[in-house]
Structure 1
Amino acid sequence: MEGKLQIYNTLTRKKEDFIPINPPHVGLYVCGPTVYGDPHLGHARPAITFDLLFRYLKNRGYKVRYVRNITDVGHLENDADSGDDKIGKKARLEELEPMEVVQYYTNRYHDAMKLLNVLPPSIEPHASGHIIEQIDLVKKIQDAGFAYESQGSIYFDVEAYNRKYPYGKLSGRILDDLQANTRELDGQSEKRNSFDFALWKKAQPEHIMRWPSPWSDGFPGWHLECSAMSTKYLGEKFDIHGGGMDLMFPHHECEIAQSTAALGHDSVNYWMHNNMLTINGQKMGKSLGNFITLEELFNGSHKLLEQAYGPMTIRFFTLQAHYRSTLDFSNEALQAAEKGLQRLLTAANTLSKLKASDVSTVNVDELETGVFDALNDDLNSPIAISVLFDWVRNINSIYDGKEKISAADLERLSSIFNTTVFEILGLRDDSIAGDTKSNLTADLINMLLNIRMQAKANKDFATSDKIRDELNKIGVIVKDRKDGFDWEIA
């Protein structure tokens, strides 16, 4: 399908035609999780958003190097420069090595991503595995005159940087406002200005995650890792950097400053940010009692949940909202998404049962144009899904004999519909996804319905009705057809 892909660039605040630096190769970097706790709803949205981008770029024929980092050092509790390291604190509380904590929660994150059908990235670097690269980057920034040493720590000099380059161009923060509104935090007197941020922190005696450096035994600042690792794997200039809107300031703003200070230019052509999610209209937070892990969603154990919701329901619900809009989770919305997903998957299954005619009374071009025009428009997945639902009606009409479709058009319809649903949107029919138990259940239902057909042929309507009614009681909806039967789970 032809057509230009447009991406909303947060840096320029407008949609722009996507033009790769070195086509057909595309460099994509996305900020991954800090692995100190169970994966939660906040992890799901960026993972699904940029999985959609990854899948769609590949569908358009690009060769994508997708780098998604793991933050396992340097992310402190309060901000980039104060408090305890989140992983170090967890390790002390549980009397574990920090890398035991990292491995456990990284495994948990990967398990959740598999359930959500999120493709693994091309490269998944860890911050702790790139200390040398981060030290080298600090040296470059220091040599360029945009960093200073203080009591064994290295800080980025925002004021000096702002005299040569505009600080705050991504988030719209103005340095004068930062100077007026940023308070001096305890333990930050070693900074020249409160808005300066740490590139390297000298480790206090109790700090268990530390490495040798030219300045002190310490650890890198949180912002530094992404600049170092994106440059290492994607080069000094790459195509797309993604992440949640909550990372725009200070994390991504500091990334731009670091890269520009070290290299003389920003590294990123397109900045993409997914919007935040809310729970019943409120921001998710442990203090509000609405912090929901993905495991709680999948098993329905959280007090706010009326039922369990499958991973594909969560994925489909997320894709029903544009990635730049706020996403509000509620039981009503999730239940509606569950029904919508089943309707879409049932239509995909019905496609395989359609019979071709000599002519077509439907125009498959409308499906192709509608879906790809939507996705080319800054990944407008809700519009693409609405086009698919329009074609669910057409598929059902063809199946019922109200519309006709030629063999060539049926082949195109099946290809476009299935490619969009399963390969681009990344949905999956979990009821038949290689589950032996589910397949056995389907075989048993089909066997019963074949017995029912034989009973009807023998005019044994009592047995026929009993099989149908008993199946209905356990949630199997039976649909009689001229040439047989169909069924679905309610």
Structure 2
Amino acid sequence: MTKELKLYNSLSAEKEVFKPIHSNYVGMYVCGPTVYSDVHLGNCRTFISFDMIYRYLIHLGYKVRYVRNITDAGHLVDDADEGEDKIVKKARLEQVEPMEIVQKYTVGFHDILRNFNAIPPNIEPTATGHIQEQINIIEKIISQGLAYEVNGSVYFNVDKYNETADYGILSKRKIEDLMSGTRELDGQSEKKSPLDFALWKKASPEHIMRWNSPWSDGFPGWHIECTAMSTKYLGESFDIHGGGMDLKFPHHECEIAQAQAFTGKPPVKYWLHANLLTLNGKKMSKSTGNTLLPDELFSGDTPLLEKGFDPMVVRFFMMQAHYRSVLDFSYDALLASEKGYHKLMTAYKDLDKLKVSEESSEEVSKHIAAYYSAMNDDFNTPILIANLFDTVSWINKVKVGQATISKADLIELKKELDAFITGVLGLTGGQAENNDGANKMDAVMEVIIELRKNARENKDWTSSDLIRDSLTAAGISIKDTKEGTSWSLN
């Protein structure tokens, strides 16, 4: 199939035909979590989205190096002039070492993504493991006259950079507008301009996480770690940089500026951003209680849900919205997705039960082409899923004798459905996996269908109708044909 993939580039604000810098090799960097608390659903949505993108690029035949960092350094994540690092604050509250916090929440992050069947990145570097690389980059930026040292701290000079480059190129913000929206310097700040951002901060006496540098005992700024790790593992210019929409400014904007100051060239060809999550139509917020953690979503142990949901149902739910669209979580929406997920996986599992014919009543090539058309349009998973359900309708018709499929087409369809359902979408629980729950459901339905059959043979229409109506109410359809009775989830 074609590799004519188009993706929306935040840098150009347009869809562009994807052309990797190095032919068949793709370098992809995604900003990972700051590990000081449980991973939230917004993080999950971002990482699941880029897991899907990673999977599809591999499916198209690209060799992908996927790098996703872990932020474990003691920096001020809001880039303030003063304050307490969140990792250090958590360590102080729990009376443990900061790296114990890092280890605890890194393990938790990996466990959650494993539940979502996310493929680990090829490289997962940490900020603390790349302090020297960050220092080297800062030294180079200073030598270029684009950063300055004050009292042991180093700041990027945005005004100086903007004389020959464009600070705001990604977020489409003008430096004049940014300046008007900042506070006036109060005479106590070390910065020359409110827009200048920290590359290195001198540590206060009580700051725990600190390293030696040419300027002071201190710690790196928020943005410099990603430039250090992305350039080390992907080169001075690479293909895709991803993250959440909330990172576009200032984090990614600052990454572009400091990387270009360091190398003299734009660091990234395509910038991709996953959009935000809402819950019941409102912004997620711990302070209002309108928030949901992945474990609560799985267990149902929250007043916001009446029951828990399988991680694959949640992943399927996320795939039903485009990665660049705002996604609203609600109990009713998850229930609808649960039905859809089971219907898709049941049809997928039923492929092995289909009877083949001499000819197919539909062109399998049209179904498959629709899958690629959707995914080649900026990874449009909701359209892909709609196309998959068109195929589900065909499968269900073949199952009850209302349509036909040839042996060759069935083999081809199995291969492509496996590639798109379990491969690209990353869903498990169907044909590619021995799903104990599905097998038990089959066994139960065989008993129910046999009971209904006996009732009909004994002309016990009341019992027969009761079985049918009860199944319908439970979201299960049964169909009687000359070849027997079949069932499917609505």
Task: Tell me how far 1:66 sits from its aligned partner.
Answer: 0.2
Q: Is the deviation greater in 50-59 or in 67-76?
A: 67-76
In structure 1, what is the Cα distance between the partners aligned to 2:77 and 2:272?
Answer: 25
Given the superposition, is the C-alpha separation of residues 186 and 350 from structure 1 closer, same or farther in structure 2, using an over 3 Å criterion? farther
Superposition deviation, residue 303 in structure 1:
2.0
2: CA distance between counterparts of 1:370 and 1:104?
Answer: 43
**2-structure distance, mates of 1:187, 1:99:** 36
Cα RMSD for the two superposed structures: 2.9
Structure 1: which amino acid aligns with 2:444?
A: I
Change in CA separation of 1:304 and 1:457 when aligned onto 2, cut-off 3 Å: closer
Q: Give the corresponding residue for 1:25.
A: 25
Q: In structure 2, list runs of 5 or more residues that go unmatched.
A: none
What SS class does the counterpart of residue 226 from structure 1 fall into? helix
Q: Distance in 1 between matches of 2:124 and 2:41?
A: 21
**Stretch of structure 1 that moved more, 49-58 or 75-84:** 75-84
Q: What do the CA deviations read for 1:188-225 (whole angstroms, capped 9, x no partner)? A: 61111111100001111111111111111111011011
In structure 1, the residue matched to 2:391 is: 391
Name the counterpart of 2:349.
349
**1:307 CA displacement:** 2.1
Compare 407-416 and 54-63 and name the one that shifted more: 407-416
Partner Cα distance (1:473, 1:405) in 2: 28
* Residues 3, 373 of structure 1: 8 Å contact kept: no
Deviation at 1:483, TM superposition (A): 4.8
1 CA distance for matches of 2:206 and 2:317?
Answer: 44
In 1: Cα distance, 2:331 partner to 2:431 partner: 22
Displacement, 1:442? 5.2
Q: Partner residue of 2:311? A: 311
**Contact 1:80 / 1:222 at 8 angstroms: preserved in 2?**
no
* Equivalent-residue separation in structure 2 for 1:295 and 1:69 (angstroms): 23
* Contact persistence 2:343–2:488 (CA under 8 A): no
Given that residues 345 and 429 in structure 2 are in contact (C-alpha distance below 8 angstroms), is that contact kept between their aligned partners in structure 1? Answer: yes
1:4 aligned onto 2:34: no
- Could you tell me which residue of structure 2 aligns to residue 54 of structure 1? 54
Q: Residues 444-463 of structure 1: matches in 2 within 5 Å?
A: 445=444, 448=447, 456=454
Q: What is the alpha-carbon distance in structure 2 between the residues aligned to residue 89 and residue 223 of structure 1?
A: 20
Structure 1 pair 168/86, CA: closer, same or farther in 2 (3 Å)? Answer: same
Q: Look up the equivalent residue of 2:181 and give its one-letter code.
A: N
The answer as to whether partners of 2:348 and 2:430 remain within 8 angstroms in 1 is: no
Tell me how far apart the structure 2 counterparts of residues 404 and 433 of structure 1 sit (CA, whole Å): 26
> How far apart are the structure 2 equivalents of 1:323 and 1:263?
31
Counterpart in the other structure of 2:149: 149
Letter in 1 for 2:306: E
Taking the aligned partners of 1:447 and 1:370, their CA distance within structure 2 comes to 35
Q: Which residue of 1 aligns with 2:98?
A: 98
Partners of 1:440 and 1:374 in 2: how far apart?
32
* Cα distance change on mapping 1:273 and 1:81 into 2, 3 Å: farther
Change (3 A) 1:210 1:62: same
Separation in structure 2 between the aligned mates of residue 136 and residue 317 of structure 1, nearest angstrom = 44
2:248 is the alignment partner of 1:256: no
1:172 to partner: Cα distance: 1.2
Would you say how many aligned residue pairs link Structure 1 and Structure 2? 488
**Mapped partners of 2:456, 2:400: distance in 1:** 25
Give the structure 2 partner of residue 379 of structure 1.
Answer: 379
User: Which residue identity is paired with 2:22?
Assistant: N
Contact residue 81 and residue 221 of structure 1 kept, 8 A: no
**Paired amino acid for 2:238:** F
Letter of the 2:99 partner, please give it.
Answer: M
Partner residue in 2 for 1:335:
335
Query: For each residue in 1:379-407, what CA deviation from the matched residue of structure 2 results, as whole angstroms up to 9, or x when unmatched?
Result: 11111111111111111111111111111
Quote the residue 1:297 is aligned against.
297
Q: Which amino acid is 1:445 matched to? A: V
Report what 1:225 is aligned to: 225
- How do 1:124-203 and structure 2 match up within 5 A? 124-184=124-184, 189-203=189-203
Alpha-carbon displacement from aligned partner over 1:432-471 (angstroms, at most 9, x marks no partner): 95566x4774586378469869x95996888xx79x9599
Judge conservation of contact 1:80–1:223 (CA < 8 Å) in 2: no
After superposition, the Cα gap between the structure-2 partners of 1:488 and 1:216, relative to the gap in structure 1 and judged at 3 Å, is same
The residue aligned with 2:368 is 368
Alpha-carbon distance change, 431 to 281 in structure 1, aligned in 2, over 3 angstroms: farther
One-letter amino acid of the structure 2 residue matched with residue 368 of structure 1: I
Q: Give deviations 1:261-309, integer Å, cap 9, x for gaps.
A: 0100111010001111111221111122112111111111222223212
Specify whether residues 383 and 167 from structure 1 end up closer, same or farther in structure 2 by C-alpha distance, changes over 3 A only.
same
Partners of 1:64 and 1:275 lie apart in 2 by 23
Aligned to 2:286: 286
Counterpart AA for 2:213 = S
Question: In structure 2, how many angstroms separate the alpha carbons of the residues matched to 1:200 and 1:74?
Answer: 11
Quick one: distance in 2 between partners of 1:376 and 1:472? Answer: 39
What runs of 5+ residues in structure 1 fail to find an aligned partner? Answer: none
1:200·1:220 contact (CA, 8 Å) conserved in 2? yes
Q: Could you tell me whether the CA contact under 8 Å between 1:82 and 1:187 is conserved in 2?
A: no
3-state DSSP of counterpart to 1:352: helix
Counterpart residue number, 2:43: 43
Q: Give the percent of matched residue pairs that are identical in Structure 1 and Structure 2.
A: 53
Provide TM-score, normalisation by structure 2: 0.92
CA distance in 2, matches of 1:121, 1:251: 21
Residues 152 and 201 in structure 1, CA contact (< 8 A), matched pair in contact too: yes
The 1-side partners of 2:166 and 2:382 are apart by 36
Q: In 1, distance between residues paired with 2:331 and 2:150?
A: 52
Moved more, 239-248 or 70-79: 70-79
In the alignment, is the contact (CA less than 8 A) between 1:188 and 1:194 conserved in 2?
Answer: no
* Compared CA separation, residues 473 and 483, structure 1 to 2 (3 A): closer
1:119 aligns with 2:114: no
Tell me by how many angstroms 1:418 deviates: 2.4
Q: Which moved more, 1:13-22 or 1:181-190?
A: 181-190
Structure 1: which amino acid aligns with 2:57?
L
Shift of 1:125: 0.6
**In the TM superposition, what whole-angstrom CA distance separates every residue of 1:56-99 from its partner, at most 9, and x where no partner exists?**
00000011000001111244254354321111110111011111
Letter matched to residue 202 of structure 2: K
Relative to the length of structure 1, the TM-score reads 0.92
In the superposition, relative to structure 1, how do residues 193 and 14 fare at CA in structure 2: closer, same or farther (>3 Å)? same
Distance 1:353 1:192 in 2: 72
Indicate if the aligned counterparts of 1:58 and 1:64 stay in contact, CA closer than 8 A: yes
For 2:187 and 2:72, how far apart are their aligned partners in 1?
A: 23
1:296 aligned partner, one-letter code: E
Secondary structure, aligned partner of 1:91: helix
